Amino acid sequence: MNGKDQLLFNIGVVDFTMVDLGLFLDAHPTDQKALEYYQHYAQIKKQLCREFGKKYYPLTMAEADSDKKWSWGDAPLPWEGGCA
Amino acid sequence: MWNYEKRLQFPVNIKEPNAKLAQIIISQYDGPDGEMGASMRYLSQRYAMPCREIGGLLTDIGTEELAHLEMVATIIHQLTRNLSMEEIERSGFDKYYVDHTLGIWPQAAGGVPFNACEFQSKGDVITDLSEDMAAEQKARTTYDNILRLIKEPDVCEPIKFLREREIVHYQRFGEALRMATDKLNEKNFYAFNPGFDKCENSNGSF
């Protein structure tokens, strides 16, 4: 795996943890341990996405850099393969 | 409101096209227990939920199902891209090809198109959550059937991930059903529809 694929893979792992914890918290909103885990991973995800957007391409439209050219369309589409 | 992230929930990188597998797996795009029906079921049901927590859970699971829909479509796309005419004819994919070429269209493995009758939105929290639990189990069984038919590791891995999620969703819907019944008269949960009838059988939480 190259640096880009590894970073995207890590974002996928962290985000999946958040999705799963999110559903758990929907049904157990006062579970302190789950709340701590969620906040921990949310922080990591934010950092990783920012790093990915800066180095490679924006994962969300909000991160698209529109300085000289709209960069949102530069990102490969998820179904092309080769990206996590 | 929704936002989109340009990535899959779980990696799908299939190297070899295989139209035979694509024709089986398309049932989970939208066959009777597919991801499209799952997402539309939960996102439609949530408006009639009598409490916010359960409406929120339906939103979040319905949203995750959209990510699964994209994964299944990606599997089918990668299994059918670069197919030769000979492979299309030999694999039996010709019947799909004649109408859709290599585009993705929602149908069951048997060719039946997607239909909203594959799910219900009944406006009753107990009825709807019971349907949701059954739906997760039906999808899990379909993924088990798919896993008995395929051996290719690059196809099996994302299918195994999707199967696992059905089990987690079943657990969460079970908890939501308990949240609902905790707010009802335990002597008779089924006496009324808490989303419609206003009567004394609630313990006051609805």
User: Which residues span the domain enclosing A48?
Assistant: 3-74
Percent of chain B with pLDDT over 90: 88
The number of distinct structural domains making up chain B is: 1
Q: Is the minimum CB–CB distance between A59 and chain B shorter than 8 Å?
A: yes
Mean pLDDT of B173-193: 91
Domain region containing B151:
19-182
User: Can you give the CATH number for the domain in which B168 is found?
Assistant: 1.20.1260.10
Question: Is there a domain that residue A82 lies in?
Answer: no
For testing the chain A interface, which of B1, B2, B5 should be mutated: the one with the most A CBs within 10 Å? B5
Asked if the ipTM is above 0.90, the reply is yes
**B130-177 pLDDT tens trace:** 999 999 999 999 999 999 999 999 999 999 999 999 999 999 999 999
Which residues, 6 or more positions from B189, have their beta carbon under 8 angstroms from its beta carbon? B126, B181
Which distant-in-sequence residues (6+ apart) come within 8 Å of B75 by Cβ?
B12, B14, B22, B25, B155, B158, B159
Query: Is the CB of A30 inside 8 Å of chain B's CB atoms?
Result: no
For residues B6 and B125, what is the distance between their CA atoms, to the nearest angstrom? 34
CB-nearest to A82 from B13, B64, B73 is: B13
On whether residue B56 sits in a domain, the answer given is yes
- The whole-model pTM stands at 0.95
**Cβ separation B77–A79 shorter than 8 A:** yes
- Whether residue B169 is contained in a domain is answered as yes
CA nearest to B70 within chain A = A79
Task: Kindly indicate the confidence band of residue A69, based on its pLDDT and cuts at 50, 70 and 90.
Answer: confident
Query: Who's near A49: CB < 8 A, 6+ residues apart?
Result: A11, A59, A60, A63
